């Protein structure tokens, strides 16, 4: 694992008590009507993307509109992401999260990165 971390362009940082809310990308009109929003705990985050748990299977290439919520921060980060990988995992404990997903940021504003960087310092 240490080798993987050394080879990464941007290191990952585990985040506790943070979560994501996301919906599958659609038209602007469909987003106005509040499409089905899913929520899951964030596993880790880097400058390139986010890893999170979910109850639904997602596919490589799925586009998502996502809100990142960090503990002790009032502001949220809204970003469009693309699923890079997804895997099913055993259900652990009472949680219903059955999948782990890695997603790459597609449209991250400088302000969004500033908020992520502030959360990483905590």
Q: CATH assignment of 2-121?
A: 2.40.10.220
List helix spans (H) across 33-98. Answer: none
pLDDT of 1: 41
pLDDT tens digits along 62-73:
999 999 999 889
Closest to 73 (Cα-Cα) out of 15, 34, 22, 24: 15
Average confidence (pLDDT) over 95-112: 90
pLDDT tens digits along 13-53:
777 789 999 988 665 555 566 567 889 999 999 889 999 99
Q: List the domain boundaries for the chain.
A: 2-121
Task: Write phi, then psi, for 118 (nearest 5 degrees).
Answer: -65, -40
């Amino acid at each position: 694992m240490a080798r993987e971390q050394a080879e990464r362009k941007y290191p990952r940082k585990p985040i506790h008590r943070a979560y994501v809310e996301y919906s599958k990308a659609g038209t602007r009109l469909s987003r106005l009507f509040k499409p089905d929003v899913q929520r899951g705990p964030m596993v880790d985050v880097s400058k390139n993307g986010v890893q999170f748990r979910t109850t639904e299977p997602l596919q490589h290439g799925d586009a998502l509109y996502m809100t990142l919520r960090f503990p002790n921060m009032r502001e949220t980060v809204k970003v469009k992401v693309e699923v890079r990988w997804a895997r099913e995992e055993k259900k652990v404990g009472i949680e219903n999260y059955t999948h782990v997903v890695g997603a790459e940021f597609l449209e991250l504003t400088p302000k969004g990165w500033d908020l992520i960087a502030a959360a990483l310092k905590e």
